[in-house]
Amino acid sequence: MSTFHKGDAVTHPAYGKGTVNGSRIDGFEIRVSFGAYNLWVPARELSAASGGLRLVDAPVAAIETPHHTATSFDAIMRLLTGQPAPDLVAEPPEPEPVAPAVKDTRNKRQSAKAAPAVATEPKRPRKHEKPVFRPAREDRAVRDATAIEAFRLGIVPSRHIEDWTVGREVEVRALRTFLKDEGEGAILVEGQYGAGKSHLLAFLAREAEGMNFAVAMAGFDPSEASAAFPKKAYRRLCQGFRATVDGQPLDFRGFLEEAARRENWPEVVGDHWLLGPFLRKVAAGKAEQEDWEHVEGLGRGDDGRPTLHDYSTCANLYVNLLSALSRLAAEVLSMNGLAVLLDEAEVARNVLYRYQAQRGVNFFRGLVLAANDDHDLLDEVLIRQDVTVGEITRLLYSGHNATRYTTGIPCRLKVAFALTPGSLQDEFRRTRETIGRVELDVLSMDALKALFGKIHGTYESCYGVRLEPKLRDRVFRLLATADRVSSTRGFIKAAVETMDYARFFPDGDVESVIQDAVG
């Protein structure tokens, strides 16, 4: 089994490219940042990728595990049966032969209701028979197995996201039109929590890659004011950067190395305040680890390097860098540009101080104007007040480095923001009245039914478990109309949990369990 260290770049067959940021159980499980989310995954499922953010001389901190542990199967069984955790690791029960289909128990319940009334006791927690261990099928497809595991988290594997984009035909058309429209550089994806914004943003990333864009995707952490401090956002975008050049998938470092091999890069960014000196080092084979960390937003600018400030007024530095990367993609590597995708954009409002919210919005406004090749970004006069601002755009500029928000026109930048309704829409419209919008409503019953059918079929192909057609219809309606299953993410997770119950309790009453769970 490979050993991974904090900062290593890795690839997962389902979740794609990520960066290691922790380990536990003696390195058996690895915590990986996949851009918009962090997951614990078994080390055996990961493979090393080029690049990475290796921390020099930094030991990998192992996370302590409880004194007694148990398999995932045992843990699931204890949750279902209400049994306490054992002191020692429990051996899994022997496999037992079971019928391939879950029985329809409706007639049995009706017969029981018709029996003579008897004295009843107060309602007690539901008791279950001994669970049946049903292993996965040996001939299961890897893509089906990874899909089911992703559904348990309420997400979809990025590699197969097109197959699981159901009921969003209108939204998909709008996103594809946006990528092809050279007259519009920014778009909003709006929807309530769990409606599928992150899914649609991931779909947009795949579409952009298919249309020969480089892609940088990041999500904002609600615990941080990262939109107010653009360096943090830029750092995450570097970690979530990917591009395909001549059929070769590249991360951020691979992208810049490939650009440095091309003869015409000096014509595009040779005079750039940061990328110019850095690419000269790369081309000469003299770029050190500290140089890479600096251009990725991890350094401070010591030893003569240009300083990448971490102040809230420095959005111009990082929008300028993104525009330069987009021009490298388009003018040097013959791509269509760079697509910057930002999830949870409404987090810009979740800050302690009002000025931080204003600075986060300033960063977004700068991205929108740069993506739309606003000529004022190159021509406007800068006014020095308490802070430096543009006379026309009113954008904030760093007092230490008042470089322009864009490196040139056109810069071939595309920007998409996923956010909840009513959070920042007015700010975006004031910046650009024609900014595109994709509004996500709840999926229709027909779309949910199609989605449930796909999940059911995929689960059956993995575990040989299926619900009889009439029972399947009743289970679907219970899940689709339950108040506690109020989002697409919640519906997906509930569907898989239902199939898990049917797998371990083939003679159990699935409908009653769902009714108990969702009220």
Reduce the DSSP state of residue 222 to 3 states and report it.
coil
Token pair for residue 186?
């920014």
- DSSP helix/strand/coil, 30: strand
Which residue's structure tokens are 């299961």? 140
Nearest to 189 by CA among 181, 179, 198, 177: 198
Cα gap 438→427, rounded to integer Å? 16
Q: What is the pLDDT of residue 161?
A: 87
| Confidence (pLDDT) at 122 | 53
CA distances from 512 to 106, 181, 467 (A): 10, 51, 15
Q: Which domains does the chain have, with CATH numbers?
A: 8-63 (2.30.30), 199-342+358-410 (no CATH)
Q: What gap in Å lies between CA 249 and CA 13, rounded to an integer? A: 14
Report the SS3 class of residue 84: coil
The confidence score (pLDDT) of residue 476 equals 95
Tens digit of pLDDT per residue, the chain (519 long)? 678 888 888 888 767 788 898 888 778 888 888 766 678 888 888 888 865 544 444 444 444 444 433 344 454 444 444 455 454 444 444 454 444 555 554 544 444 444 455 455 555 555 567 888 888 999 999 899 999 998 888 788 777 888 889 889 999 999 999 999 999 999 999 988 888 898 999 999 999 999 999 999 998 865 555 677 899 999 999 999 999 999 999 999 999 999 999 999 999 999 999 999 999 999 999 999 999 999 999 876 566 788 898 888 999 999 999 999 999 999 999 999 999 999 988 766 665 567 777 888 999 999 999 999 999 999 999 999 889 999 999 999 999 999 999 999 999 999 999 998 876 888 898 898 889 999 998 888 999 999 999 999 999 999 999 999 999 999 999 999 887 777 888 899 999 999 999 999 998 899 998 888 776
C-alpha dist (Å) from residue 275 to 223, 280, 324, 519:
31, 8, 8, 58
Give every CB contact of residue 469 below 8 A, 6+ residues apart in sequence.
Answer: none
Q: Is 425 helix (H, G, I), strand (E, B) or coil?
A: helix
Global confidence as pTM: 0.73
**301: which residues sit within 8 A by CB, 6+ positions away?**
294, 307, 308
What CA–CA distance (Å, rounded) separates 510 from 507? 9
137's tokens:
């099928």
Residue 19 neighbours by CB under 8 Å, 6+ apart: 7, 8, 9, 10, 32, 33, 52, 53, 239
SS3 at position 18: strand
pLDDT score recorded for residue 438: 94
Gap between the Cα atoms of 104 and 102, Å rounded:
7
Helix 488-504 to helix 510-518 angle (10° resolution) is: 140
Q: Write phi, then psi, for 283 (nearest 5 degrees).
A: -60, -30
**CB atoms inside a 10 Å sphere around CB 165:** 19
**Residue 207: which of 180, 234, 241, 239 has the closest Cα?**
180
Measured CA distances, 285 to 279, 280, 288, 291, 299 (Å)? 10, 9, 9, 12, 20
For residue 410, is the peptide bond before it cis, meaning its omega torsion is within 30 degrees of 0? yes
List the Cα angle 104/106/108 in 5-degree steps.
100
Q: What integer pLDDT is reported at residue 163 of this predicted model?
A: 86
Quote the tokens at residue 58: 């930094």
With CA atoms as reference, report the closest residue to 189 among 178, 502, 180, 181. Answer: 178
CB within 8 A of 192, min separation 6: which ones? 420, 421, 440, 487
Looking at residue 442, what is its pLDDT? 82
